[in-house]
Chain A
Amino acid sequence: MRSFRILTPRDVATAVDQLPATRGPATREDARVLAGGQDILTELKHDLIAPEALVDLSSIAGLEGHERTPDGGLRIGAMTRLVDLERDASLAGAFAVLREAAASVASPQIRTQATVGGNLCQRPRCAYYRHSHAPCIKKGGSECFAATGHNKYNAIFGGGPSYIVHPSDLAPALVALNAEAVVVGPRGERRMPLENFFTLPSEGSILRENVLGKNEVLSELIVPKPADGTVSTYLKFRERESYDFALVAVACTLRIDGSKLASASLVLGGVAPIPWRATRAEVLLANAEVGVDLVRRAAQASIEGAAPLSENGYKLPLTRNLVWKALTALGAGGAR
């Protein structure tokens, strides 16, 4: 690891001050935020970044921990460790999706250190991106090697010019819960739906996966109160069950009112450069009568518009079937 300064600010404003003064995506050398370290330390090891400083957030009071808001929602500090979500049995019903997503991340050892903010801001796992001698488009090169090379793990939605998939498990879960991201920068705080925090390679900067500027810190997530009776689940399918990133994951929340689906949220992981909302399926589900046929149609709709690459066509049936499993498990197919 090349040498750099370690900064340990005691509050978020100081942390922001210690980050670069300019805006835009961080370059290889720019100072970076250090949260749980479980991703960034390997990036340093492989020389993917060579920052002049690391700004450690672990000494900042108030960033770690999650709690119910007075209105029945959730506030989650960016430094909350995944293990603390995983072990919170009160995260049930509408929030089960969050707990299940946290429990599905990497391995027990990683989850004790990894943070919510870090999970949302981790960099892609694409083997080309992670290879220090593959000058791919995500690292400032001109080509996405996965587009024509090995792409079994890459995107079927939202790809181009890069075909990475977003590796976060919490992202689909939190997007499905309509969470808001709180971002602190030199000019104070800004809030946005977490869904808008993430950016496609074709829209934001190709060098990053979200709107976060190099002088900004993701400080917390606010989850609004879900409607009473909402149920949820996170289905993650891994090539290696013991620990792995998702081949496909489905975050689903829904509320059944009598024989109708009062609301449904369906967000996919492992299929796109961002947590991918299965909008067509959601439209089908909204206010529809529950039933096996509805579930089948929604599952099919969830893969409409997919554009598989040479090696990842399997993600279509896999996505469709996992959506089917998730909706069925939550009762959208009717009583079981």
Chain B
Amino acid sequence: MTTWNVRVNGREVSVEAPPMARVLDVLRESLGLTGSKEGCGEGECGSCTVLLDGRPTCACLVPIFQVEGRELCTVEGVAGTELDPLQRVMIEAGGVQCGACTPGIVVSLRALLDRDPRPTRAAVRESIAGNLCRCTGYERILRAVEELVGSEEADA
């Protein structure tokens, strides 16, 4: 066991874990942040997507030792006390059903919008290409975001 210092959702956190502990386990087991879900454990479903230094990352494929001194943002940290507009439009558009993929999708979209506040429709689509959803059919999620940011270009 080693102590790791990581900034999680804007807070400095010290956590004990073996160096190869997956970031996902540290978040869920040690820090009680269970918003990030484990859907496959192999980077194929995107349910555990978190931001690592602002970039979307599968928390199941990063060992904690590689995150020392860096910054993580989980779905719990995407919004403050109020829902952010992205979360609001996803609800309004019907972009959530069972909700197991939702945290990962919110984080992927947040990463996109932080980087590019006016993404093209193709970019919105690509931003969640690594997030599998079995309920909603994605379409409302895409439309919700496109409407939120006013994406204009047609899909390539």
Chain A interface (Cβ < 8 Å from any Cβ of B): 1, 4, 6, 8, 37-38, 41-42, 45, 54, 56, 58, 83, 106-110, 112-113, 242-243
Contacts and interface: CB of A to CB of B under 8 A. Distances in A.
Contact of B61 (A37, A54, A56, A83): A37
A107 B130 contact: yes
A113 B61 contact: yes
Contacts of A109: 43, 46, 49, 56-58, 108, 130
Interface of A is mostly: mixed
A229 to B, nearest CB: 26
Interface string B12-25: 00000001100000
Interface in B41-63: 41-43, 46, 49, 52, 55-58, 61-63
Given A108-B108, A109-B49, A112-B52, A42 B65 contact: no
B20 to A, nearest CB: 6
Nearest to A54: B20
A42 B111 CA distance: 25
B130 A243 contact: yes
8 contacts: A37-B66, A38-B43, A58-B66, A83-B55, A106-B43, A108-B56, A109-B46, A243-B129
B15 to A, nearest CB: 17
B63 A41 contact: yes
B126 interface: yes
Contacts of A45: 41-42
A6 B4 CA distance: 15
Interface residues of B, number: 24
Contacts of A242: 129-130
B130 A108 contact: yes
Given A108-B56, A109-B49, A109-B108, A38 B61 contact: yes
Given A109-B46, A110-B61, A112-B56, 7 more contacts: A45-B41, A45-B42, A54-B20, A107-B129, A108-B56, A109-B108, A113-B58
A213 to B, nearest CB: 25
Of B46, B61, B65, B108, the most chain A CB neighbours within 10 A belong to B61
Contacts of B129: 107-108, 242-243
Of B20, B42, B111, the most chain A CB neighbours within 10 A belong to B20
Contact of A107 (B19, B46, B66): B46
Interface in B104-143: 108, 111, 126-127, 129-131
Contact of A106 (B57, B130, B131): B130
The 3 closest A-B pairs by CB, nearest first: A107-B130, A112-B55, A242-B129
